[in-house]
C-alpha cells in the first residue's frame, strides 16, 4: 500500500558553498540527523532541498534547514551537538511559538537559552522563587541551568557567593579514603558543577573565586549549623539525601538567598529508596508559596539522542517488571 507524502521544495539563499557544507555536515550527517529525528526524507541538489513526509514534520524540517543555514552565517563550524539541541527545541514547539516565550540567561561569556517548555518554566521559577526543585532524568539540563542562574546572580551582584553542595553517596562503589583537603575530597563528586562553572566563567576565574571562598564547595554533612545569607546555593543529586538531610539543608537558607535542588528519583543510591529526602520533600512542600517544583520528562533530554532512548528503555523495563508482580 502506497502512502502519499507531503512534499515541499526549499531553496536556501544567499548561495554560499561553505555555509552549505556547514549546514549539511560531513557526509551529510546533519541532514541524516534531521531525517531521523523528524521522520522525513531529504533530497539535496545544491542549495535546493526537497523534503517529504508528514505535513507538520516537513514544515519543521524546512524551518530547521532554513534557521540552521542562517546560523552558519555567524558560526564557523556547525556541530552535530548544536543541530541536536535545535531539534530538541522544535520537537516540543507548536508551529507558531512566539519569541516572547523564549527564556534566556545572560552571563558575561554569552547567552544560555532555555530549550522547551519545562526548561522555560524552570528558569522562570528560579528567578521568581527562593527555593526551587528540578526533578527529572539525566541530561535534561537541571544542574547546568541552575549553575547558569547562579553565575548570572553573582555577576549582577544579586548575591555575594555561590555554594555548591552534594551528598557524598557512592553509586554502588566503595572508593575508600580520598586524599587531600576537603575541596580535593569533594571535587570528584562535584565534577558536573565544576564543568559547568568552567564553561561559563573560565578555569582561572573559577579557581580564583574558590580560593577567595566566593565559590564554596561543601559536602552536605558540613551544612549543619550554618545560616547562609546573600548566597545562591545548589544542592545537586538531591535524590541521595535522607529526609533529615533535606530538612536540614532547606532550613539553612538565610536572607537574600536562593536555593535550587536538583535530582533524578530514578537513580537513588540510598539503601532504601523510601528514605530519599527529594521524594519526601516533593510530597510535603508541593503547595507552599515561594517553593517551586519543575518536573522534567524524558522528552526534555538534551544530550546525545541515545540518552533519551536509554532512559525510555529503562522506564519501559521497570514498568513491565511492575506489571508482572
Indicate the pTM of the whole model.
0.70
* pLDDT, position 186: 64
- Specify the CATH architecture of the domain 6-90: 2-Layer Sandwich (3.30)
pLDDT at 68: 93
- H-helix or E-strand spanning residue 307: helix 305-324
| Residues with pLDDT less than 50, the chain | 1-2, 92-100, 171-176
What is the pLDDT, as a whole number, of residue 178?
A: 52
Please give the pLDDT value at position 99.
Answer: 43
What are the residue ranges spanned by the domains of the chain?
6-90, 99-322
Which of these, 48, 57, 52, lies nearest to 6 by C-alpha position? 52
CB 199 within 8 A of CB 141: no
Nearest to 195 by CA among 154, 147, 243: 147
CA distance 96 to 230: 40
Cis peptide before 14 (omega within 30 of 0): yes
Distance separating alpha carbons of residues 132 and 123, to the nearest angstrom: 10
Across the chain, how many H-helices and E-strands are there?
Answer: 12, 11
Q: Which CATH architecture best describes the domain 99-322?
A: 3-Layer(aba) Sandwich (3.40)
Helix axes 277-284, 243-250, angle to 10 degrees: 60
Amino acid at each position: 500500500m502506497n502512502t502519499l507524502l507531503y512534499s515541499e521544495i526549499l531553496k536556501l539563499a544567499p548561495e554560499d558553498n561553505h555555509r552549505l557544507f556547514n549546514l549539511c555536515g560531513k557526509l551529510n550527517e546533519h541532514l541524516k540527523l534531521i531525517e531521523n529525528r523528524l521522520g522525513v526524507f531529504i533530497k539535496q541538489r545544491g542549495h535546493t532541498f526537497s523534503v517529504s513526509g508528514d505535513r507538520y514534520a516537513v514544515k519543521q524540517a524546512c524551518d530547521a534547514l532554513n534557521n540552521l543555514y542562517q546560523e552558519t552565517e555567524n558560526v564557523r563550524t556547525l556541530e552535530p551537538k548544536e543541530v541536536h539541541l535545535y531539534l530538541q527545541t522544535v520537537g516540543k514547539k507548536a508551529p507558531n511559538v512566539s519569541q516572547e516565550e523564549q527564556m534566556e540567561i545572560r552571563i558575561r561569556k554569552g547567552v544560555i537559552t532555555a530549550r522547551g517548555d519545562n526548561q522555560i518554566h524552570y528558569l522562570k521559577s528560579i528567578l521568581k522563587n527562593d527555593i526551587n526543585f528540578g526533578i527529572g532524568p539525566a541530561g535534561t539540563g537541571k544542574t547546568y541551568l541552575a549553575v547558569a542562574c547562579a553565575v548570572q546572580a553573582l555577576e549582577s551582584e544579586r548575591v555575594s557567593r555561590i555554594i555548591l553542595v552534594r551528598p557524598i553517596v557512592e553509586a554502588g562503589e566503595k572508593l575508600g579514603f580520598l586524599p587531600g583537603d576537603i575541596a580535593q575530597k569533594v571535587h570528584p563528586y562535584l565534577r558536573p558543577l565544576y564543568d559547568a562553572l568552567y564553561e561559563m566563567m573560565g578555569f582561572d576565574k573559577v579557581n580564583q573565586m574558590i580560593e577567595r571562598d566566593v565559590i564554596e564547595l561543601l559536602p552536605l554533612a558540613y551544612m549543619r549549623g550554618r545560616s547562609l545569607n546573600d548566597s545562591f546555593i545548589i544542592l545537586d543529586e538531591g535524590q541521595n539525601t535522607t529526609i533529615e538531610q533535606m530538612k536540614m539543608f532547606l532550613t539553612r537558607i538565610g536572607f537574600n538567598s536562593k536555593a535550587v535542588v536538583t535530582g533524578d528519583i530514578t537513580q537513588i543510591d540510598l539503601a532504601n529508596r523510601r528514605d530519599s529526602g527529594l521524594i519526601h520533600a516533593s510530597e510535603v512542600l508541593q503547595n507552599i508559596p515561594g517553593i517551586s517544583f519543575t518536573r522534567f520528562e524524558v522528552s526534555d533530554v538534551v544530550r546525545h539522542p541515545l540518552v533519551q532512548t536509554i532512559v525510555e528503555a529503562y522506564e519501559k523495563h521497570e514498568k513491565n517488571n511492575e506489571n508482572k508482580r
